[in-house]
Amino acid sequence: MTDEREPDDLESVEVLEVAAPPRDLVEAVTAALSRRVSVPCRIRSVPEAFQIPHIPGRNQADADRLLSAVEALGPPVGHVLVALTAEDIGHPIFTHFFGRARHHGSAAVVSVARLDPTFYGLPEDRNRTVLRTVLEIVHEMGHLAGIGHCDDWSCIMRFASTVDAIDNRGQRFCPACAAALPPGFAPSHAPCPPDPEP
């Protein structure tokens, strides 16, 4: 798949609602993300005909096929799509993903299913869900910018296979990964956590 977008052309992030979480959560994630990145973030709905591909025999969306379907929506040059879904996502070979993106791609997919404490039988914690989701989006945007996984535990690009690993890794790019970010992907210097609920 050819992508003509140059990574330093980033002008906005469009948060795409796909089998979306509650609207107030989508709005909170988008608002918090806009404080973490240096470009505007907007919410966008998928076309009515959009179909979510599922893994046969499993109650999961197929992450890679879903990513391809989102990429096929053709984000304009200078924009990236981040599909935010309430559905658990996985792969026929792997149990689950928190998010998926291609290096130098134009779109990412992030599932809030396993980022929500209630998935593990814990009490609802909206702020934690929002923070985890924003951090996972920023991680996937790092891949869109061409950055691979990092060995530094303090770096947001550290690979995380569990939600505890997401909670325990750094919330910012390490100096090496930050230096590799194209200008349009440079993070803002806003605080990491989302604003607390009133």
Q: Are 187 and 172 in contact (CB under 8 A)?
A: yes
Q: Is residue 196 part of a domain?
A: no
pLDDT of residue 93: 84
Ordered per-residue pLDDT tens for the chain, 198 residues: 334 444 456 788 999 998 878 899 999 999 999 988 888 899 988 888 888 899 998 889 999 999 999 999 877 777 889 999 999 999 888 789 999 999 988 899 999 999 999 999 999 999 999 999 999 999 999 999 999 999 999 999 999 999 999 999 999 999 999 998 886 676 654 444 444 343
pLDDT of residue 194: 43
Closest to 37 (Cα-Cα) out of 143, 103, 134, 110: 134
Q: Which of 11, 48, 140, 197 is catalytic?
A: 140
Q: Is residue 16 part of a domain?
A: yes
- 17 has catalytic annotation: no
Q: Is residue 195 part of a domain?
A: no
pLDDT of residue 21: 81
The total number of structural domains in the chain stands at: 1
**Which residue range(s) make up the domain with 50?**
7-147
Q: Is residue 107 part of a domain?
A: yes
* CATH code for the domain in which residue 101 is found: 3.40.390.10
Give the whole-angstrom CA distance, residue 66 versus residue 72.
Answer: 10
Q: Is residue 1 part of a domain?
A: no
Q: Is residue 43 part of a domain?
A: yes
In Å, what is the CA distance from 58 to each residue of 55, 89, 92, 95, 98?
6, 10, 9, 10, 16
Q: Is residue 129 part of a domain?
A: yes
Which letter, b or e, does each residue of 52-76 get, where b requires 16 or more Cβ atoms within 10 Å of its Cβ?
A: bebbeeeebbbbbbbbbbbbebebe
Q: Is residue 71 part of a domain?
A: yes
